[in-house]
Amino acid sequence: MRDVIGWEEDARVPTAGFDYDALDQSLGWSEPELPEREASTADFSSALIKVLYWISSTPNIKWAGARACALLAYLDGVNAPHGRDTLARIAREAGLTRAALSKSLVALRDELGMQLWCGKRAGSREVFRQAQHESVRRNTHSSQKPKQRQGELGLG
């Protein structure tokens, strides 16, 4: 286990050194390791065209800029210019929601058939969906419980 950087809100924070890869592997969520291969110029061009098409397929130029910045933030957020290193910051600057930007990145990942590790891992969406349905069925979903008032919590 090693210490890595995680995210809380818009700030990078050190994690406790938890072995997330081992947990994912034990739950069957890890992706199989693929052998490295060389890509031809045509393969590279095709992938680049798909990315550029995804960026520019929106009629709103602000959306296009936000998509480009979001992809850079995920691929190399440490070196992203102008403090555009999180989806929240990018979305705020572009006047969008973080969720909409994240959904757009997930769509790109699905379109390319590759892992960008943005949003939830490929199998996680289905696992989380099933868990949500199960909690609703058992009447334990958070949306089914009344919110406690501040006075009940001793805060008021």
Q: Say what the pLDDT of residue 154 is.
A: 52
Assess contact for 70 and 87: CB atoms under 8 A: yes
Look at residue 34 in the predicted model and tell me its pLDDT.
67
Nearest to 55 by CA among 112, 108, 109: 108
Least confident of 24-28, 33-37, 118-122: 118-122
What average pLDDT is seen over the chain?
77
Specify the pLDDT at position 92. 93
Distance from C-alpha of 15 to C-alpha of 26, rounded to nearest angstrom: 20
| 14 — pLDDT class (breaks 50, 70, 90) | low
What pLDDT does residue 4 have? 52
pLDDT at 12 over 50: yes
**How many residues would you count in the chain?**
156
Amino acid at 81: P
Is residue 82 classed exposed, middle or buried when 0-12, 13-18 and 19+ CB atoms within 10 A define those classes? exposed
Per-residue pLDDT tens over the stretch 51-90: 999 999 999 999 999 999 999 988 888 888 898 988 999 9
Residues of the chain with pLDDT > 90: what percent? Answer: 22
What pLDDT score does 99 carry? 92
